[in-house]
Amino acid sequence: MRTSGRPGRVYRRCGCRDATRRQLGAKCPRLAEEKHGTWTFAVDIPSLNSRRRTIRRGGFEDEWHAETALRRFLEGRQLGFDADPHETVATYLTKWLKGMEFLLKPTTYARYRTYVLCELIPVFGKMRLEELAHDHIAAYTHQQLEVGRGRQAVYHCLATLSSALGSAVRTHRLPFNAAQPLPMRRPQAAERAPWTAEQAVTFLAHCRDVDPAFADLFEVIIGTGLRKGEALGLQRPCVRLDDRVMYIRHTLSAVDNHELVLTAPKTKKSRNWVPLSERVAAALQRAMDRSTATVNGHVFQDTDGKPLHPAAVRRRFHELREQAALPHVTIHDLRHLAATLALEGNVPMAVISKTLRHSTLSTTANIYSHLTWDVAMAAVHTIETRLHLAESRAHCGADALASPLPNPLFSHAA
């Protein structure tokens, strides 16, 4: 056994057994042979119960590799991470996921947990963390796409793995992120095709006849551009009808499509105020009159006085849409409808960005860069009109230069 000035020890041992089948370990007489056995390091570390526990890792081919692994393990302890040389991808991802539990929203954490436990660990879990390479991840990507897996699903799995490995790099657990660059590009979102104003009016009229409670909910979403979770998480104290304003402070989500939780809005800019039109204010008033009169109750409730479940709202929306014989859109597309109607009304992009509470103006510009046909045609017609006006001015100037100037002498003589 060899020790150095730092904690821990390095020694050689083997798996030979004596006559009673007990392992000889470091006491085997054949260890004098150069090629016999493997190298192991051992180090004592403190635990929460004030007792010291011994960590042993073996299987190293020579003393240098064992010394390097011991040094790496001790450096990791000082920096706050586990540098176990035998740590598998499954062990690391499990610990990473546990560390993210109180840093992420419950819905985001549930999604990460699904990707880690159901997708990544079954594929990469048995590999040593340091052995995971970019070609392993690329092969997984190609295999998933070849069997017909959705590009969005594969991309989200890769992004989760990249986030986990990125944390390992930032804490010096790994020298590089094997998932970067990702083996595939982020799939482009499908082009938005929201309803027209006429289709929205048809839908709201049908809802008022069939289900007035849901009509008020969709009236609020269309009239303000709220996200579904923000509308369902809206509480009575956040609505100031006299001031024609409401304050977005929560979003209602379903963890694993089951447990309802109130979380912070999507971004910091999402936590803001939203002005109310007369139509929206009237819809909110009807909803609050209809709901259970509790001080901190939700504005939109079911018949039992509980918050509406997002999945139930989604199902009901599509039922009403099909009954009204309208094209397929999602509830989130109603938010895009609100933005499109504002664009068609020549509302400045900056004002729309403020109303939708996007994090940056560029976010709004990127989402609605396609504009609409009417807005785009108005833009090119404006360009055409300005060019014609400039040409007219240029021709007028040329005609004035071409006409002879009157001779003041002849004019005086006349």
What pLDDT, on a 0 to 100 scale, did the predictor assign at position 412?
A: 47
pLDDT at 78: 74
CATH number of the domain located at residue range(s) 89-170 in this protein? 1.10.150.130
Domain at 197-367, CATH class: mainly alpha
What pLDDT is attached to residue 104? Answer: 87
Q: Hey, what amino acid is at 295?
A: V
Span 301-312, average pLDDT: 89
Q: Residue 84 has what pLDDT? A: 76
The verdict on whether omega for the bond into residue 181 sits within 30 degrees of 0, i.e. cis, is: yes
Q: Alpha helices, DSSP H only, in 101-133?
A: 106-115, 121-124
> What is the band of 40 on the pLDDT scale with cuts at 50, 70, 90?
confident
- Of all residues in the chain, the percent with pLDDT exceeding 90 is 41
pLDDT at 410 > cutoff 60: no
Q: What is the mean pLDDT of the chain?
A: 85
Q: Residue ranges per domain, the chain?
A: 2-72, 89-170, 197-367
What are the DSSP E strand ranges found in 182-256? Answer: 239-240, 245-247, 251-255
Residue 74 confidence (pLDDT): 81
Q: Tens of pLDDT along 330-344? A: 999 898 888 888 877
Determine the Cα–Cα distance for residues 115 and 329; give it in Å rounded to an integer: 27
Whether 376 has a pLDDT exceeding 90, the answer reads: no
pLDDT at 414: 41
pLDDT of residue 312: 93
pLDDT at 115 over 90: yes
Which distant-in-sequence residues (6+ apart) come within 8 Å of 326 by Cβ?
A: 195, 199, 202, 203
Mean pLDDT in residue range 61-84: 78
| % of the chain beyond a pLDDT of 70 | 88
φ, ψ for residue 53, nearest 5 deg:
-120, 150
Query: How confident is the model over 194-236, as pLDDT tens digits?
Result: 888 999 999 999 999 999 999 999 999 999 889 999 999 999 9
**Cα-based torsion angle of the residue sequence 103, 108, 110, 116 in order, rounded to the nearest 10 degrees:** -90
> What integer is the mean pLDDT of 59-78?
80
Lowest average pLDDT, out of 48-57, 239-248, 321-330, goes to: 48-57
Q: Say which range, 198-212, 257-271, 301-315, 325-339, has the weakest mean pLDDT.
A: 257-271
Residue 229, judged by CB atoms within 10 A of its CB (0-12, 13-18, 19+), counts as buried
In this model, does residue 375 exceed pLDDT 70?
no
Angle CA(285)–CA(314)–CA(368) in degrees, nearest 5?
Answer: 85
pLDDT band at 404 (very low <50, low <70, confident <90, very high): low
Answer whether residue 409 shows pLDDT above 50.
no
Q: What is the pLDDT of residues 139-156, one digit of tens each?
A: 999 999 999 999 999 999
More confident call, 90 vs 194? 90
Tens digits of residue pLDDT in 334-374 = 988 888 888 778 777 788 888 888 878 777 766 666 655 66
Quick one: pLDDT at residue 365? 67
What b/e sequence results for 234-257 when a residue is b if at least 16 CB atoms lie within 10 Å of its CB, and e otherwise? bbbebbeeeeeebebbbbbbbbee
- What average pLDDT does this structure show over 252-277? 86
What pTM was estimated for this model as a whole? Answer: 0.68
Identical fold at 89-170 and 197-367? no
Average pLDDT, stretch 167-194? 86
| Res 373: pLDDT | 64
